[in-house]
Amino acid sequence: MGYFDIPVEHVYGQHVILDYLASKTICSDDLVVVSPDIGGVARARAFAKRLSNAPLAIVDKRSHAHNVAEVMNLIGDVKGKIAIMVDDMIDTAGTIAKGAVLLHEEGG
Ligand SMILES: O=P(O)(O)OC[C@H]1O[C@H](OP(=O)(O)OP(=O)(O)O)[C@H](O)[C@@H]1O
């Protein structure tokens, strides 16, 4: 698969998380799935569809100039909801942590 010269199987963990959330019997009206950046929208949307078609919200990070702090805006409504952020990887955890702060500020 690109970077390897041996056979590689891509193992998805999504069904484990979906089973866990199903075990919590949370009404889908109380959920919102959040993409922590624009690049993850398709992934988060696919996850939301599998979660009883839960609504979607998106964190839009913008930096208006080099070395200027990012401005984070939320597209969608998380107020009073259980927000589930979906991303493909964590490195420094900056993306997911800043996203969580924003969701909290927005009432999620
Ligand atoms: O834990 P962190 O250090 O924040 O890194 C993880 C983030 O980096 C990647 O996104 P990227 O910044 O490449 O943006 P993209 O997915 O929109 O291309 C990845 O999709 C995560 O969102």
List pLDDT tens digits, range 6-58.
998 888 888 899 999 888 888 878 999 999 999 999 999 999 999 989 999 99
List C-alpha distances in Å: 5 to 2, 8, 9, 11, 28: 8, 9, 12, 18, 43
Point out the ligand 1 atom lying closest to the alpha carbon of residue 92: 3
In whole angstroms, give the CA distance from residue 12 to residue 29: 26
- Expressed in angstroms and rounded, the spacing between residue 94 Cα and the centre of ligand 1 is 9
Quote the CA–CA distance of 69 and 49 in Å, as a whole number: 33
**Got the DSSP string for 2-44?**
-S-SS-------HHHHHHHHHHTT--GGGEEEEESSGGGHHHH
**Among 60, 63, 89, 96, residue to substitute to test ligand 1 (most atoms within 8 Å of Cβ):** 89
Digit-coded pLDDT (tens) for 76-91 = 999 999 999 999 999 9
Using 50, 70 and 90 to split pLDDT, how confident is the model at 75? very high
Among the CATH numbers 3.30.465.10, 1.10.1060.10, 3.40.50.2020, 3.90.1420.10, which is that of 14-105? 3.40.50.2020
Which atom of ligand 1 sits closest to the CA of residue 37? 17
- What residues does each domain of the chain span? 14-105
3-state helix, strand, coil in the chain (%, to 5): 35, 20, 45
| Reported pTM | 0.86
